[in-house]
Amino acid sequence: MYYELIVQTEKREQFINITAGLNGLLGDSGTEEGTCTVFVSHTTTGVTVNEDADPAVMDDLLRFLKRMVPLQGGYSHREGNSDAHIKASLIGSSLHLIVRKGILDLGTWQGIFLGEFDGPRTRTVKLWID
Amino acid sequence: MYYELIVQTEKREQFINITAGLNGLLGDSGTEEGTCTVFVSHTTTGVTVNEDADPAVMDDLLRFLKRMVPLQGGYSHREGNSDAHIKASLIGSSLHLIVRKGILDLGTWQGIFLGEFDGPRTRTVKLWID
Amino acid sequence: MYYELIVQTEKREQFINITAGLNGLLGDSGTEEGTCTVFVSHTTTGVTVNEDADPAVMDDLLRFLKRMVPLQGGYSHREGNSDAHIKASLIGSSLHLIVRKGILDLGTWQGIFLGEFDGPRTRTVKLWID
């Protein structure tokens, strides 16, 4: 079963918690147990699992990425967003997650985050539920 | 089919080979062919595929991560383990693997490694076998 | 259904577009909808999703990785390719992708790239279609 989650980002770079959005689609599907694929269909975004408690964790990750992959880095790609493409491949575009009791089977502190690296834009997260 | 592998880590940071543990659970399940999802349900661990021959390879990877993501980095998160959260997102929390002949269908030199970045702790690896 | 894509790489380090190769195997399988697992069965390669339009994007990513993970880095592993193993774990070895209308359901600009980090060699990409 195929679903889409549309996410409006608000900054050039930010992590947005999409856990509730994904669980909402799982609820719509009526799936109790199985797996699902989460895929961001853009080349300047990523999707990752990390702490869904203290927002400072995702701030620290974002700041680390900005320092490691600078906006200006003598890149060849002329659109000026090579840093965003590099961050996308470091963080990754797909997750494969377990579903139990009708929701994502995550650890106590885990959430799912869309990484926006070249926004603000309207982004599509594709969800396939097995 | 859902299984868990419990792993007791022994250092703050280390890679632990979980290939045999995962293959043991596949054996218990009786699965001959298909796929499986490996998911670490913590925000300061990762799971990766790399060389299961010379242990120096994983030592080099760990040393690289420690240098790239220092323990002290002017982070905002107050628990003092932001480096571990960053390493978790760089390495990733989930793998989707092929199963053939009753075991993980890996290349000659490949093994599966849990990355502990804020241990020692008792860690849970979730396994869903399709 | 299990398929293999054999890729001959030509340099020590390069990204090779395997999107058409994967879609060809999907065509052979007759699959219209579902998911597939893409897995590189080597410890010095990776697989990633990024821009399939301007080749400068992948050039920038490769140059970034070379700078971040130098060939000579005081590594313990004696084969002289520790940098390649590290790049493999940063980029990742597996993807789980959605299939719709008989092909990979990618965004407008996305393609799938094999990352060769210790070539030239003959590489095997494993594909499991659900």
Distance CA A114, CA A45 (A): 7
Closest C-alpha among A86, C129, A107 to residue B41:
A107
pLDDT at A111 (0 to 100): 98
Neighbours of chain A (3+ CB pairs under 8 A): B, C
**Contact between A105 and B94 using a beta-carbon 8 Å cutoff:** no
**What is the ipTM for the molecules in this complex?**
0.96
Q: Does A32 touch chain B (CB under 8 A)?
A: no
* Position B107 confidence tier, pLDDT thresholds 50, 70, 90: very high
Per-residue pLDDT for B42 more than 90? yes
Give which of C124, C128, C129 to mutate to test B binding, by max B Cβ within 10 Å.
Answer: C128
A130 interaction partners in chain B (CB closer than 8 Å): 130
Of C34, C50, C98, the CB nearest to A88: C50
pLDDT at B78 (0 to 100): 86
**Contact between A56 and B76 using a beta-carbon 8 Å cutoff:** yes
CB C36 within 8 A of CB C128: yes
pLDDT at C73 (0 to 100): 86
Q: Tens digits of per-residue pLDDT, C92-130? A: 999 999 999 999 999 999 999 999 999 999 999 999 998
**Contact between A43 and C61 using a beta-carbon 8 Å cutoff:** no
Residues 6+ apart with CB under 8 A from B107: C40, C41, C42, C43, C124
Q: Does B80 touch chain A (CB under 8 A)?
A: no
Per-residue pLDDT for B29 more than 90? yes
pLDDT at B127 (0 to 100): 98
B85-117 in b/e form (b: 16+ CB < 10 A) is: bbbbbbbbbbbbbbbbeebbbbbebbbbbbbbb
Q: Tens digits of per-residue pLDDT, C17-53? A: 999 999 999 999 999 999 999 999 999 999 999 999 9
Distance CA B58, CA C76 (A): 10
Residues 6+ apart with CB under 8 A from A45: A88, A93, A114, A115, A116, A117, A118, A123
C-alpha separations of B124 from A34, B8, B100, C41, C65 in Å:
18, 9, 24, 25, 31
Nearest chain A alpha carbon to B78: A56
pLDDT at B92 (0 to 100): 97
Residue B92 phi, psi (nearest 5):
100, 155
Q: What is the pTM of this model?
A: 0.97
Distance CA A34, CA B1 (A): 8
Q: Tens digits of per-residue pLDDT, B112-127? A: 999 999 999 999 999 9
CB B22 within 8 A of CB B128: no
pLDDT at B88 (0 to 100): 98
C-alpha separations of A98 from A34, A129, C21, C24 in Å:
6, 10, 29, 29
A63 interaction partners in chain B (CB closer than 8 Å): 76
Residues 6+ apart with CB under 8 A from A31: A1, A99, A102, A129
Of B75, B85, B126, the CB nearest to A51: B85
pLDDT at C128 (0 to 100): 97
CATH superfamily name and code, C2-129: YjbQ-like (2.60.120.460)
* Position A78 confidence tier, pLDDT thresholds 50, 70, 90: confident
Distance CA A113, CA A98 (A): 16
CB A102 within 8 A of CB A27: yes
Bond preceding residue A55 cis, omega within 30 of 0? no
**Contact between A77 and C98 using a beta-carbon 8 Å cutoff:** no
Distance CA B85, CA B79 (A): 11
Tell how strand A2-8 and strand A103-104 pair up.
Answer: unpaired
Bond preceding residue C120 cis, omega within 30 of 0? yes
Based on C-alpha coordinates, what's the Rg of chain B? 15
Of C76, C93, C124, the CB nearest to B56: C76
Q: Tens digits of per-residue pLDDT, A22-44? A: 999 999 999 999 999 999 999 99
